[in-house]
Structure 1
Amino acid sequence: MLRNGKWVENWQPIQQKSEDGDFIRQSSGFRQGVVKNAPADRYHLYVAYICPWACRTLMLRKLKGLEHAISVSVVNPVLTEQGWAFDSPEQNLQKDYMHQLYTHSDNQYTGRATVPVLWDKYQQKIVNNESADIIKILNDDFNHLAQNDINLRPTHLLEEMSELNELIYDKINNGVYRAGFASTQQAYERGYYDVFTGLDTLEEKLAHRKYLLGEQLTEADIRLFVTLIRFDLAYYSVFKCNKQRIRDYQHLHAYMHRVYNLPGIKQTVNAQHIKQGYYSIKTLNPNGIVPLGPDQI
């Protein structure tokens, strides 16, 4: 991690935990917005196909039709001792590691260098590294450049969506990490039971509707999909969330494929990167062996 702008220790998945062994997620350090009516190609996304938080920004970029306006760099899926690395020096500053972009933006930065990152190529700095902010920015602030007329945050659904987003984050998106990175049995069980309570709730909700809030695709669907698509590939095994697979849920599994088959969404999913990335975490898989299956998602 970085401390006062210096890389001081090998990468670890857990930076902070509670006294009871619960995984505590780091708060994002860059929370700015973008310039109004920004020109095409001012902004750049740094992502990892392994990372659900990063891939929801890729989904927004695809759904809005912003590929021509916002360029992308994908880090290597295998986490190194210095965290996320580039296969070759990245295009903006010719850096080798993600943490070098953080210290370029703030030479006193302390914390983990995470993805996604929204980068300003004109000012050569990080604008935002909070995925919840970035997906809102992509939905709301690039309509002048968007090639697709879609709004994933419709005003009449915002209140209901906000409540649903909270459930999805607490029980499912972050729940799998709380189970996977727990350091006590009790903390693991809290995360585990939250995950499956949340999945059971949404399985029931999807029994009679196309998407989470009805017939219209919303941000809530993006937030849920990125965890569902990784579940059978990684979370079921390496995070010990092994009560049921997503393919064992009739409605969730059909829903996952419904979203997966939307135009462009398949291109935001890389199953091999997902497996390589999660199984490269030495604290969870010391020998680094990557499973060959599952054959289908």
Structure 2
Amino acid sequence: MKAQYEKYYVPEQSQWPIVGAVALFLIAIGSGLAVMQTAKQQGGVGFYILLLGIAVLLYMLFGWFKNVIDESQGGLYSAQMDRSFRQGMAWFIFSEVMFFMAFFGALFYARTFAVPWLGGESNNAMTNEVLWPSFEAAWPLLSTPGGGETRAMGWQGLPLINTMILLLSSITLHFAHTAMEQGKRTQLKAMLALTILLGVIFLGLQGEEYVYAYQELGLTLDSGIYGNTFFLLTGFHGMHVTLGTILLLVVFLRIMKGHFSEEKHFAFQAAAWYWHFVDVVWLCLFVFVYVL
């Protein structure tokens, strides 16, 4: 008896990877220029380059989504292709875990080793005397060698509210997933729409938190290692929440058009995996950046 082989769909050549690369290049250049120009309190094109990069990235995402959706709805995917998608999404989330581990590692190193050493601990008295004689080892660092002063962002208020919002969004997404598996389309649409709304609210409150940090606390990217790690971790997390919200929005629009079934809905699962990952990262971030 001959073995039965499944057909494996190989997509056509696509322009989307190079479009995405251009978008990320523009975002990197625009972000760097915008930060430098803001620090110097000068106008410039950095912010506009950043917006252009974001616009190109959104164009790439929706264009690529459209191609994949058309292929899926055209019946071109097999069970083998579905396994490839699952493995690809799992490896992608793993790479994102490593991405955030690098920044959490930098925070851990600064708090556990660099700050105590600079304060003279572990036989590093000369380091303290030579580099910063008046330095006192404490976290968060609220002063810089240049004489800049800032205030710490507390865990109460907006950070705590945002934590509750993301936890609630994971619950509503779970109910949406359960509704998908049970074929309850009305409940599915309502719970998924609520999850997207919570994501948008989270981003809005994070923007408000940044305004408060800059205007009221004097907490900026120039605020030494504390300001650097704070904005890098919370900023990159906000970027991931934005991407997760876009993924859920695309899935929601597909559901409104009647896509997916109780048995086949991996696009929904992939977006849900990513959203739960983002929520877990925020819990770690809330504890190690805000509370401890």
- TM-score clears 0.5: no
Bigger Rg, which one: 2
**Greater relative contact order, per chain length (Cα 8 Å cut-off, separation 6+):** 1
TM-score by length of 2: 0.30
Q: Which has the higher strand share?
A: 1
